[in-house]
Structure 1
Amino acid sequence: MQATTDTGSTPEFLDAFDIQEIPDIPIAAGSITAVVLAYNELLRFPHFLDHHRKAGVSLFLVIDNGSTDGSAEYLDAQLDVVRFPSSRSYKEFKSHWRHLIADQYLQGHWVMFPDVDELMVYPGWPEKPLTALTSFWRKQGVQGVFSTMVDMYPEAPLSGVQYSSGTPFLSLCSYFDRVGYRLLPLSKYTERNFPTPPFQLYGGARERLFPVHGKRKASKFDVWLEQFMFAPNAGSRPRFLQRLARKFLKASWPKDSASMGKMPLLLWSSEFRFAGGVHRLNQVLNIADDWVALLHFKYLDDFAERTIEATKRAQHANNSGHYRHYVEHMDEIVSKGALYSKSVRFSAVSNLEDAGLMRTSAPLKQWMASDPASAQRSK
């Protein structure tokens, strides 16, 4: 459905979207609404929508940033999708769009902020609906849930991949890196301005496949020390040892590494503001002890084409600097693939928990075990 219904208007909202009137969109109590930014994602939309519908998302509010691949027509035909077309600059409006939509419709409601190449999985997936968990979290006073970003890739080189729209992403891209992540405390600047989540996650397949070396190349000892001290499942380490390890390892870390964590599931408040993307928030929130995961499916057979297009559009952070770096290493992943000795085939969310990339707290485990019927009801 395209947004057209009139309930009044505000100049700021109408200035951000190519619409004449603000639509009236009722939001059901206890429901989960996804707010999605998209540009030419027709290839991925069918499975993206199918996955999240099955997970419990009841409504998709899609900002369509000038798609030319038939996405508009496809989305307008979906009964649970409202499309907000916009010709504004993605680089300048990506946060503003999300804030406007969430402030207009989703105050006090659960909202998910996934990209179209991401699938959210969570404790109990796929048997339990996400609405059961959000009901549990609300009762616990939780305002938001942290998510790792887990790059998924195929067993074969990308040159041998042929994805058909609607096919489950995991049927082609089922592998991920089980090691190579580092969970770090915040810098003073970040803690002061965007304190949630109270840590930073880096590394994973993206950093391995598209390396940017620090002042010195990481040695085997560096790799061991990093994992011993800062792996997401490393456990608690004394702070003074962490400080010493960070000081020693800092020269081996990339200066501009991509963040591999997000805050994509929030009980929305109009006080919330993102720092650019949905990686960080400006408020101190009560976040769940549980972690979910966004399985990230960048590496399909359109990877090279979309990467080159992204560099030309220059709408991503640092004038799409990460995408320009992808182009430099494109030939290797296309011809050789991403699989290596520490790749793991995803078969269940327990694979992510074993790697420290998803967490299920004791209270949530107890709740799911003691009241399984409640996990089959959307509240």
Structure 2
Amino acid sequence: MPKIIYPSPGMKGELWRRSPIERMLAWHGTKRSRKRIGVFTKERSLQLFSPQQFRPLAGPDIPLIFLSRNDQRLLPSFLSHYRKLGVTRFICVDDQSTDGTAEYLSSQADLDLWTSRLRYKDARRGKSWRQELFQIYGSNHWYLNVDSDEFLIYDRCFEMPLGALIGRIEALSIRRLAAPMIDMYPSGDIAAAEFTGENDLMPWQVADCYDQDGYSVIRNSRFLRIRGGARKRLFGSDVDLMKYPLIFWDDECSLGENIHQPLPYQRNFSPIFGVLLHFKFFSDYQERVQAAIDGGQHFGGAREYVKMMQRITADSEVAFAYPGSVRFKEPRQLVDQGFIVSPFDGTEV
């Protein structure tokens, strides 16, 4: 297979188009994974916190499922962003926040707030919660499925709402939207990059930069494995960046072994129409890294956060910006730079 370059201006189908053998491997991989994982348990750990009565989805609803833990500062901009994109219902699991997150969310009329007796780690790092919510709210529906620090961006997203995007990808017989996380960070001194969520400020007005290069792509039988970005460059992180934040959930779907590789695998290969701007790096990031380590909820003993703390300890003034940093100004630049292709420019699958 030829080397895959990402980002790639003028991105073509070589990134997502597969040979008959690759398609067969994806089908067999799905079958093996289903057998290994087994049937999702119907035992429930979630309790509806607000409102008091469960509200089923209506046909035209565009719901968004997300998890949150002590992200109150991001929530006003998060909700505002997705409302502008056309989300009509928010469905959240609050992981025992202590910063006022639950109180803030319970005041939102278009939001269903759920809590759990389990913590994030015990809920298979949130996968059990998400699958339980899909089960509760129903199949054969489009959902957004993100975290509270992830902001979906696609070409013309502030002009063409999610309904138009869904209509376009349905016409292409696509059942889920591929969108890698792009780590955002401030162009200047991170100590001065305070984000409070006040004054209608969006997070990309503070953490305004991302890495334009340094990414790697491997197309395996399950998904497009994309790694790189600021966390890789600065902290040696090897986390998978690819996610599928917009998904048509039916009875064939499962989050499987890994939220980055949902089942069935055959649906994970399509044009990269979006990115998730990912906001972890503001002035208080060191305290949040330490809190993640102390909390013990993340994969492998929070090893990715341990890597970050080791670098911070060695160099307390980590410089995030570098010659390849680019400021985010508007969605079209991501098309021009080759991070995404436009769903509205006649892309062929």
TM over 0.5: yes
Aligned residues of 2:194 and 2:284 also touching (Cα < 8 A):
no
Is 2:287 the partner of 1:305? yes
Report percent identity of matched pairs. 28
Q: CA deviation at 1:51?
A: 0.6
User: 2: CA distance between counterparts of 1:130 and 1:41?
Assistant: 24
DSSP 3-state at the match of 1:179: coil
Q: 1:333–1:268: structure 2 CA closer, same or farther, 3 Å change rule?
A: farther
- Correspondence 1:27-46 to 2 at 5 A: 27-46=57-76
Q: 1:96–1:329: structure 2 CA closer, same or farther, 3 Å change rule?
A: same
Aligned residues of 2:179 and 2:274 also touching (Cα < 8 A):
yes
Structure 1 equivalent of residue 176 of structure 2: 144
User: 2: CA distance between counterparts of 1:155 and 1:66?
Assistant: 33
Aligned residues of 2:44 and 2:132 also touching (Cα < 8 A):
no
User: 2: CA distance between counterparts of 1:323 and 1:173?
Assistant: 19
Question: What stretches of structure 1 of length at least 5 have no aligned partner?
Answer: 1-11, 213-256, 368-379
Larger radius of gyration: 1
Aligned residues of 2:184 and 2:210 also touching (Cα < 8 A):
yes
Is 2:97 the partner of 1:97? no
Select the structure that is richer in helix.
1
Question: What stretches of structure 2 of length at least 5 have no aligned partner?
Answer: 1-40
DSSP 3-state at the match of 1:72: helix
Aligned residues of 1:209 and 1:333 also touching (Cα < 8 A):
no
Normalization by structure 2: what TM-score? 0.80
Structure 1 equivalent of residue 233 of structure 2: 208
Is 2:322 the partner of 1:340? yes
Structure 2 equivalent of residue 86 of structure 1: 116
Is 2:145 the partner of 1:165? no
Question: What is the one-letter code of the residue matched to 1:348?
Answer: E
Deviations 1:238-294, CA, capped at 9 Å, x for gaps: xxxxxxxxxxxxxxxxxxx11011111101113312245531112122754242100
Aligned to 1:263, which of 244, 251, 261? Answer: 244
Structure 1 equivalent of residue 274 of structure 2: 292
Aligned residues of 1:177 and 1:204 also touching (Cα < 8 A):
yes
DSSP 3-state at the match of 1:24: coil
Is 2:311 the partner of 1:329? yes
Q: Count residues in correspondence.
A: 301
Normalization by structure 1: what TM-score? 0.74
Structure 1 equivalent of residue 210 of structure 2: 176
Aligned residues of 1:103 and 1:269 also touching (Cα < 8 A):
no
Structure 2 equivalent of residue 64 of structure 1: 94
Deviations 1:142-173, CA, capped at 9 Å, x for gaps: 21010011011101222122212242101111
User: 1: CA distance between counterparts of 2:197 and 2:100?
Assistant: 13
User: 2: CA distance between counterparts of 1:349 and 1:332?
Assistant: 36
Is 2:260 the partner of 1:272? no
Q: 1:76–1:357: structure 2 CA closer, same or farther, 3 Å change rule?
A: same
Deviations 1:128-148, CA, capped at 9 Å, x for gaps: 112211122223322101001
Aligned to 1:125, which of 147, 150, 157? Answer: 157
User: 1: CA distance between counterparts of 2:146 and 2:273?
Assistant: 15
Structure 2 equivalent of residue 356 of structure 1: 338
Question: What is the one-letter code of the residue matched to 1:169?
Answer: P
